[in-house]
Structure 1
């Protein structure tokens, strides 16, 4: 048997978007893309909550708390970490990615990683609605697909 997620039957889904305030101009564009995609797939605006955190490093802790309350069908994480002149970039993106991954594994809550890791502000702009599309939109669709395939595996 082959199992594939699809983008149907989303009317009653509830989604949490955990967004980093750091690099807000980029993250706001990612949120717009995510919300537009969710709404296009039938999720009503009232079922989409946005939870702001200071930076990408704080996303995993809040995602863990959100997943534990079982209010949401899935979690989208959004942020932008832009490389600077120090190793801080590597520490933040690695901690964020590893922490977000652990949340999904240990809580069985569908969660997707939408934290951009770029070398420049221009690259982040391109990935948040520019020539490279909007990664917020892409991860929103990926979340719906993961929710769907997990639901199929449960039945």
Structure 2
């Protein structure tokens, strides 16, 4: 496991933090998503200097790392990035489904939002045209997953506010 930024701090005053877990398989393409999502999160200014990035060998390794990160309590969200391709044997769809199912389970079990830019193209071939297309596509997906992360964290903050004693949500629940 490679950590490409500083170690996460156990000091919870440094929150909010986001962890990014990316596969090194097809690193040149996957890095386009991680670079784009980091740039989008940094633009929000809320996460400047608060993004930790871990690299793992492949997509299949991401869910365990996401779970371990979620269990630390240090992260407000986790984003997964990978490219799962058909390598000539029919298993890519099973791998992708297992990864996505496991990421959802991490999210629900740990109550930390987990986002996926784990993509499985129907057709991917190792030639310049496909590599260029997917590199550009991963930039778009990186930006989209960062926006989804920011929007979800905002909506979860709103829900948490409604659950505070004395809030209108509490009042409506008691009088309704």
Fold shared, TM-score > 0.5 on shorter chain? yes
- The partner residue of 1:116 within 110, 119, 136 is 119
Q: Answer whether contact 2:37 2:146 (CA < 8 A) is retained.
A: yes
Root-mean-square deviation over aligned CA pairs: 2.0
- Once the two structures are overlaid, the 10-residue window that deviates more, 113-122 or 62-71, is 113-122
Q: Which of the two has greater strand per residue?
A: 1
Residue aligned with 1:82, SS:
coil
Show the 5 A alignment for 1:93-108.
93-108=96-111
Q: Which moved more, 1:119-128 or 1:86-95?
A: 119-128
Q: Is the 8 A contact 1:56 1:79 kept in 2?
A: yes
Deviation of 1:123 (Å): 5.3
Q: Does 1:149 align with 2:155?
A: yes
Matches within 5 A, 1:6-155: 13-118=16-121, 119-121=123-125, 125-130=132-137, 134-155=140-161
Bigger relative contact order (CA 8 A; separation at least 6): 1
The list of structure 1 runs, each at least 4 consecutive aligned residues, that deviate by more than 6 angstroms after superposition, is: none
Unaligned runs of 5+ in 2: 1-13, 162-176
Tell me the SS of whatever aligns to 2:102.
helix
Q: State the distance in 1 between where 2:74 and 2:111 align.
A: 13
The 8 Å contact of residues 33 and 129 in structure 1, kept in 2 or not, is answered as no
The Cα shift of 1:96 comes to 0.7
For each residue in 1:37-72, what CA deviation from the matched residue of structure 2 results, as whole angstroms up to 9, or x when unmatched? 001111444201101111000100000000000111
Quick one: distance in 1 between partners of 2:57 and 2:26?
Answer: 10
Q: Between Structure 1 and Structure 2, how many residues are aligned?
A: 144
